[in-house]
């Protein structure tokens, strides 16, 4: 099983969430590789069984510029068999709270096997850990369904 967690972070919040989720996923015995978007080999996207995407939201609910190549790769490559998940951090003060998560979610629903999404207010807090565990569990369930089919 080849799983990548690909994220971008400007304030450190999404990086922290990526690290938490990576630890939880690895706790289930899944070999999860953590990549910043700059490190991720886009040309090898289809070689992953699962890709978990982490992003902050920019401007008026937009996907950050550095994440657009990954977004386009899912649109342009054959990724229909890849299990995907998306998570992000944001501030509910803004009208398009975690808008980049929503945009990725909508595209991944069409272009991949979307398993689960997660939005966290600003920096992950203790009360978010239960939701993070649920995210990892739902991802694991989808992965197990795919392996057994």
Q: What is the pLDDT along the chain (149 residues), one digit of tens a residue?
A: 899 999 999 999 999 999 999 999 999 999 999 999 999 999 999 999 999 999 999 888 899 999 999 999 999 999 999 999 999 998 877 778 888 999 999 999 999 999 999 999 887 888 899 999 999 999 999 998 876 44
Contacts of 85 (CB under 8 A, 6+ apart): 50, 51, 52, 53, 114, 115, 116, 117, 118, 135, 138, 139
State the total domains in the chain.
1
Question: What global pTM score does this model have?
Answer: 0.93
Sign of torsion over alpha carbons 114, 116, 120, 125: negative
DSSP conformation class of 58: B
Run of H or E including 81 = none
Contacts of 1 (CB under 8 A, 6+ apart): 30, 31, 49, 50, 143, 147
Residue 73 sits in a domain whose CATH number is 3.40.50.360
Residue 149 confidence (pLDDT): 43
* Residue numbers of the domain that contains 130: 3-148
């Amino acid at each position: 099983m080849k799983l990548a967690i690909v994220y971008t972070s400007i304030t450190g919040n999404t990086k922290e969430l990526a690290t938490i989720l990576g630890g939880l996923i690895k706790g289930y015995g899944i070999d999860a590789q953590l990549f910043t978007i700059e490190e991720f080999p886009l040309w090898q996207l289809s070689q992953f069984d699962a890709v978990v995407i982490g992003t902050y939201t920019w401007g008026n609910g937009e996907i950050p510029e550095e994440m657009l190549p990954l977004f386009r790769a899912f649109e342009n490559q054959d990724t229909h068999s890849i299990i995907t998940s998306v998570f992000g951090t944001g501030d509910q003060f803004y009208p398009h709270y975690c808008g980049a998560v929503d945009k990725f979610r909508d595209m991944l629903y069409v272009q991949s096997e979307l398993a689960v999404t997660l939005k966290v207010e600003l920096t992950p807090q203790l009360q978010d850990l239960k939701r993070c565990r649920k995210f990892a569990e739902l991802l694991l369930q989808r992965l197990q369904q795919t392996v057994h089919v």
